Chains A and B, each alone.
Chain A
């Protein structure tokens, strides 16, 4: 089987695959390529496997021949010339166009185009924080870059992101055991974690950066800007709060049996959502429940504790089975949305009736292992459709559309329309007051942002 011509196939290789293909052509072994690109050898093997498949070749010599032909071929068109699929959102280009629209409607025919409808440019994605090469071994991405630009900092498997009302972002830098903070100017610091001392409950002056956070996969902020961290320490799920550099334990959720992960990645321990009244909802992934903590008492809010698919839709939320719930979000009515990850669904618990329903996913649905969920002010639901490597939007009318991601895993697309981006296991997501969507692109070792995705 021969390889396609360079121009036919060029678009099918990701930038990283092109890089690997060129190094193969230079005669480097997989080990040498791995060392050069700071990747593990197996990652290089994986890239090469994909390259062979995409180019329909079997040998390194054929890859080399393809690279030689490709690099000798005329330069392909710039990515910007690729016509993006515009999102179907139409706006009036002129500030007073609504008045013109009224005129048009009034006059119906005979009046010449005073109204002009324009498709806005599609939202663009970029890296917000993190500079460790995508798909690196997590151990190779040791925390670095504090007090510098977040885009140059090193994160390792970021799993969750939260944004306060002023635009400060907080990132659960999971494999580094830290919560990182990115200010409005883009400078990153470590808020807490990274040390080896036991978390100290309410001890003033105790250096928060010297503390060990445990398995702190999830971060949230309340309306006052206080930061909450969900962590599993000694197989106990706990919520801690940082207030002016003072760590306080908010609630011990209970046993959270975490298996020892032999040579494999740890999933997030759960999710957090906080109401205006500081009621905390906690997704206990390993326990297959969602808990509610009102400041005094912790009660089961959804899930039976059994990892299962007896959904119990329309019934009481505490009688429904959940499977590995992770992401949580609240709408303006404080109805709770749960990423019921193992059931491939987003569930909603009615605040008043305490009943549960499926709002996205399920049979015939399009979600695969959704890890994250976020709510816009207008009720639009954004979903990290993790297993499909994309971000989905569920409109208030119930329509589901892809807002980011091609559906293929990998890393590409920065500076391009978000629908052309590739993610590698996008987990947590957060929406800022300005409508910017932050995405913890976990295996790409970074947080990415789509500015003004929703015009909030």
Chain B
């Protein structure tokens, strides 16, 4: 027994000496992030990525390092800074993937450079429909953004127009809505919301009784509301940008259609003036938001890991898409892990892209796999409602379950 112990000790010492003599640190894999950090004030997103990397600081003998990039110039995100940053990532061969871009604007400028490499990008928060599968002509087109033809950009948040589908499904199933009138202040982009909305209403046996395009910033909704009322609408759906006046419609509904509900989007929840614009006796007001800051996972390992994250980042301080940034990082870590295993210990950027494109990832906010365009197959949204003078979280909506 003693001789075995001695042999073990000698072996350990020899191993230690070998390490000392080589002095070699484990090989390094870098996970980068690209967010408009100072412009959007989203250092929490960086901290979420950092937390996820710290939770798993080694993968299969590789040391994982996090390198954040800020795509801001002063108080705005900036295309030249974004492009410069992505060039730095590309030049560092140890960068195997990017969490981000954080915005659709950054994606437009970074993806055409990262795609031919190919450098995988997984965004928690870029939701513009033009990035992947626009139902109308966008400039640039998805083909412009992917010069190699390969899908290298993936996102876990739903593309914006899917709000139309979520709103329709939720309103019919949970709020008893049967006839909807909708106004659109988003121009051509709003048409794609309306399309999703009418398709889903039809599927659910409800009806889009009236729709109208209105100029951005409209404050007089009486004509629209009168028609909606005459057609028996029991809900008004608003597709409008943030910092708009669309919540004024809810205030005017309280006189004309007091029993109907108002259903908006993140344009309304992010508008600081919205609640006041709704007046003192607004109708029931709801909104669909393409972000989930709730754990929906049932896998205990995933749940416990995410709970540790939420413990470090208390819910009250969570900025939108923070948990999504954490989940996007987890997905990238798992894809890198798979790439290492499938490449016999020598992962490549291409292999990471391939893993993201083909595998399924079970995370805190849902189970993700990606379609040919890089969109999550079953993304989630949050449903918010107005309670008192605040928007409060009401429910999670999963597209795959619809």
Contact = CB atoms under 8 A, between A and B. Distances in A.
Contact of B80 (A30, A42, A341, A389): A341
B132 to A, nearest CB: 13
Contacts of B104: 262-263
A156 B335 CA distance: 44
B139 A342 contact: no
B103 interface: yes
Contacts of B319: 45
A140 B203 CA distance: 40
Given A41-B270, A43-B41, A262 B75 contact: no
A278 interface: no
Contacts of A423: 74
What is the size category of the interface that chain B forms with chain A?
35 or more
Given A46-B40, A48-B41, A369-B80, A263 B74 contact: no
A387 interface: yes
Contacts of A31: 272, 275
Interface string B76-98: 11111101100000000000000
A378 interface: no
Interface in B120-140: 128, 130, 138-140
B105 interface: yes
B243 A140 contact: yes
A423 B74 CA distance: 8
Contacts of B83: 342
A139 interface: yes
B139 A387 contact: no
A426 B230 CA distance: 54
B79 A267 contact: yes
Interface in B6-45: 38-43
A100 B50 CA distance: 67
Given A31-B272, A49-B41, A262-B108, A443 B75 contact: yes
A389 B140 CA distance: 31
B317 to A, nearest CB: 8
A389 B74 contact: yes
A208 B165 CA distance: 46
A170 interface: no
Interface stretch (A32-40, A120-128, A188-196): A32-40
B73 interface: yes
A41 B75 CA distance: 13
Contacts of B209: none
A135 interface: yes
B126 to A, nearest CB: 9
A42 B43 CA distance: 12
A261 interface: yes
Nearest to A441: B74
Contact of B243 (A40, A46, A262, A443): A40
Interface in A383-423: 386-387, 389, 409, 423
A423 to B, nearest CB: 8
B140 A260 contact: yes
Contacts of A321: none
A385 to B, nearest CB: 12
Contacts of A264: 76-77, 79, 103, 105-106, 108
Contacts of A40: 243, 272
Given A260-B138, A267-B80, A387-B81, A46 B105 contact: no
A443 B40 contact: no
B386 interface: no
Contacts of A448: none
Nearest to B128: A262
A430 interface: no
A324 B84 CA distance: 12
A44 B42 CA distance: 11
Contacts of A443: 74-76
A265 B76 contact: yes
Nearest to B107: A262
Given A264-B76, A369-B80, A387-B73, A259 B108 contact: yes
A49 B80 contact: no
Interface in B197-254: 243
B362 interface: no
B378 interface: no
B139 A424 contact: no
B273 interface: yes
Nearest to B41: A46
Nearest to A408: B74
A35 B242 CA distance: 13
Given A46-B41, A140-B243, A425-B74, A259 B139 contact: yes
Given A42-B41, A263-B104, A424 B79 contact: no
A47 interface: yes
A334 interface: no
Given A41-B270, A262-B105, A409 B74 contact: yes
Interface in A191-214: none
A42 B74 contact: no
A137 interface: yes
A169 to B, nearest CB: 23
Contact of A369 (B73, B130, B140, B270): B73
Top 6 A-B residue pairs of the complex, sorted by shortest distance between their CB atoms: A46-B41, A264-B105, A45-B41, A31-B272, A409-B74, A425-B74
18 contacts: A31-B272, A35-B276, A41-B272, A43-B41, A45-B42, A45-B319, A259-B109, A261-B105, A263-B128, A265-B76, A267-B80, A342-B84, A369-B73, A409-B38, A409-B75, A425-B73, A425-B75, A443-B74
Given A44-B41, A267-B80, A409-B75, 5 more contacts: A135-B75, A260-B139, A262-B105, A341-B80, A425-B73
